[in-house]
Structure 1
């Protein structure tokens, strides 16, 4: 799979790039690819159909669904690929399995959320891991993932927190700091360096160049 590189862009640019990549793949203009990126400044991204709320930072809407996600301390990723006979859930599980294996290489054993009875109990993405998502033994969500499918392609993007300013985040989201600490964890807290994580993630994805998307097992 082709690596498009790493960059730091505005919230609007990041979402526009991700959406345009899927459209170009759908039209046969590019090959399956991925990119890694960060965000200029702190912002909130909302799911495609999510109700808007006011925040003291910039707000951008994703082309994918899911709950509100706070950006600024995270490493984000975007993957666009052909369906190749896979449905939405199969593709999602493949990517989750890939991240499970990546964290395992760093000595971090995660668990898959098995609860299928999830309902939208919160506005925020990280507060309740949904079925198939990765969490720590304490129940903290580790990887935020959102998807969109077109006729022939998938767009999957998401984030892993490298670090997190709990005090500032509390003020932005109007959520108590202690509550955020119960829900959020970071690469730094897990003892993983950003560069090491980025290198391993690129290795997993780049090795898929020229083949259908089937992460390591």
Structure 2
């Protein structure tokens, strides 16, 4: 059992397959909901490129299962959380697992999104909540709509799409922050003609995707510590934790439509 709710675990940045990333998030939520694990924050990217489907999403284009990018098949996985499809390429994902949040869904989102708004604000990007109605469920592309749980830039483009899963009093909230997506790949998957790149908006002329990723992570770690009044203690996943996580990998794969 963990004894101090003001001490959170910060899992170091991890690049891994989509199925493994989802298994980690689901395991963290399960352990926290059972009182076996502290609140947790982590950041990660997906390799190979992946399309993640919302837990309740039952239809998607058949050709998504045959896509490749840079010579590798694009993985198709199902998130433990809801929402629509997200293409994970050129993005950075955050995940928060905690408890004691408001029962109302949007209030819980807004409580957790404070650190995203604050951290990106420190980097010079003002974010506000989207306002799409229930019609968003008919659009398979998460980033083509912005609900009250999503964060958009001043020009109206969506920067962060988030989704939640609640287990009793515990919540997993994870979301994709679109940094430097490949426009041709988005066109191929979603038929989107223009995909903004936040990397190009950073002031440093030397900024590349890796530089921006590290800047964003550092800013958000600092913002989380301040917004939630917590002590973030860095600890990688341990061997016995990896074993438990990998045992659940199959449940997140998508093999057929």
> Which TM bucket (shorter chain)?
0.7 to 0.9
**Are 1:38 and 2:53 matched, yes or no?**
no
**Are 1:203 and 2:203 matched, yes or no?**
no
Q: Paired residue for 2:245?
A: none
The alignment covers a number of residue pairs equal to: 205
Q: Relative contact order (C-alpha < 8 Å, sep 6+): which is higher?
A: 2
Partner-residue secondary structure (3-state), 2:159: coil
CA 1:59–1:121: 2 relative to 1, 3 Å? same
Which residues in structure 2 correspond to 1:91-130 (within 5 Å)?
Answer: 91-116=108-133, 118-130=135-147
Partner-residue secondary structure (3-state), 1:195: helix
Partner-residue secondary structure (3-state), 2:12: strand
- Give the deviation of 1:93 after TM superposition: 0.7
- Give the deviation of 1:90 after TM superposition: 1.5
* TM-score normalized by the length of structure 2: 0.73
**Are 1:186 and 2:193 matched, yes or no?**
no
Q: Paired residue for 1:175?
A: 191
CA 1:59–1:132: 2 relative to 1, 3 Å? closer
Instruction: Specify the structure having the higher radius of gyration (Cα).
Output: 2
Structure 1 CA distance for aligned equivalents of residues 155 and 126 of structure 2? 12
- Give the deviation of 1:134 after TM superposition: 1.4
1:136–1:142 contact (8 Å) kept in structure 2: yes
- The farther-off stretch of 67-76 and 185-194 is 185-194
1:4–1:35 contact (8 Å) kept in structure 2: yes
Structure 1 CA distance for aligned equivalents of residues 132 and 77 of structure 2? 29
Offset from partner CA, 1:66-112 (integer Å, 9 cap, x none): 01000121111111001255532212012223222222212222232
Specify which structure has the higher proportion of helix.
2
Structure 2 spans left out of the alignment, 5+ residues: 1-7, 68-73, 204-211, 233-257
| RMSD after superposition | 2.0
Q: Paired residue for 1:7?
A: 14
1:2–1:209 contact (8 Å) kept in structure 2: no
Structure 2 CA distance for aligned equivalents of residues 199 and 16 of structure 1? 25
- Give the deviation of 1:191 after TM superposition: 1.3
* TM-score normalized by the length of structure 1: 0.86
Q: Paired residue for 1:214?
A: none
Structure 1 spans left out of the alignment, 5+ residues: 212-217
